[in-house]
Amino acid sequence: MSHYFPVGSVKVIAVVGTGTIGSSWATYFLSKGFKVKAWDPSRDWKKRITDFINNAWPQVQALGAVKPNQQNNISLCSNLSEALSGVDFVQENSPEQLELKQALFGDMDRLLPENIIISSSTSGLIMSDMQEGLSSAHRFVVGHPFNPPHLIPLVEVVGGKNTDPFAVDWAIDFYNQIGKRAIKIKKEVAGHLANRLQAALWREAVLAVKNDLASVEDINAAVAMGPGLRWALMGPHMIMNLTGSDGGYQKMLENFGSGIEDWWETMNENPSLTPDLKEALINGINLEAGNRSISQLEAERDHRLVKLLALLKDTKNSNK
């Protein structure tokens, strides 16, 4: 099917579920000039999303993505039907519970015309499971952002077994047109792609604590002050390509491939999160965090993200 609402004509977006991810999505959509209709079944959600947008607005302003008064272009709806009325696209952000999402998807499927794409922010659930039994399952896709969506560009897009391939392409086009970096995941796996890469690195970081290889703080520094700086600029394959100097990836594989394979042979231990290991992880991160609260750490992260994104934008523009 290819009769979906035109990508370039999207004006009104429904944000269903307004926790951290949903509120962040709402902030981003507002910053791009869209009207947002938000809804959440929880108590006090209207205050939480309003506070989030107010706190995050200086960050999107610093990235030059907003015009005056755009942050007020949001309707806080009293029910799902009101939130979906007259919208051109839906970003769903409910909790990671399969039965809850299946019920919610069924409600949205009944309330929306079948030419409206519904995209789920799920970080690990399988779309084929969530869309099962829906009459318009073809228009449901995963559009998984990385936290916080109002700052980090990545969106992973993947369809289920009943998703129309055109719907996947539509979602990728839409996200890219509004300033995101959407990537197509070719098959369904738990955790999609980016979270699996992240989990693989965290696995080694946990093992480093378990095996007393280094402190939690030094393990964090090993990434943040080392390869993490390069990964912010280029992905792992391109960085390894540069390792081969003028010979590129081929030379790197010739010089280092067998040695790295030997390292992989030593990476066959899966850590068990025992009470002792959990305690070591928690104690280590508390020592590094010191007196900083979670909200302070989030603010520190986002402050650095804004500066990094601005730098990346400047360098990208200078290379054109």
Same domain, 94 and 145: yes
Q: What is the pTM of this model?
A: 0.91
Same domain, 142 and 42: yes
CA distances, 117 to each of 39, 98, 185 (Å):
17, 20, 17
> What is the per-residue pLDDT across 10-54, written as a single tens digit (0 to 9) for each?
999 999 999 999 999 999 999 999 999 999 999 999 999 999 999
Same domain, 214 and 239: yes
In this prediction, residue 314 has a pLDDT band, given cuts at 50, 70 and 90, of: confident
Same domain, 75 and 164: yes
Q: What angle do CA 163, 34, 150 make, to 5 degrees?
A: 80
> How many Å apart are CA 110 and CA 280, to the nearest integer?
49
3-class SS of residue 37: strand
Identify the CATH number of the domain in which residue 227 sits: 1.10.1040.10
Same domain, 47 and 81: yes
Q: Is residue 309 part of a domain?
A: no
Domain region containing 244? 194-289
Same domain, 133 and 276: no
> What is the per-residue pLDDT across 176-228, written as a single tens digit (0 to 9) for each?
999 999 999 999 999 999 999 999 999 999 999 999 999 999 999 999 999 99
> How many Å apart are CA 133 and CA 99, to the nearest integer?
13
Same domain, 26 and 86: yes
CA distances, 90 to each of 99, 185, 263 (Å):
19, 20, 45
CA distances, 181 to each of 35, 155, 203, 318 (Å):
21, 6, 26, 19
> How many Å apart are CA 114 and CA 218, to the nearest integer?
52
Residue where a domain terminates, one of 157, 184, 211: 184
Identify the CATH number of the domain in which residue 142 sits: 3.40.50.720
Same domain, 199 and 171: no
Same domain, 177 and 113: yes
180 conformational bin, left if phi > 0, alpha if psi -120 to 50, beta if neither: beta
Same domain, 21 and 109: yes
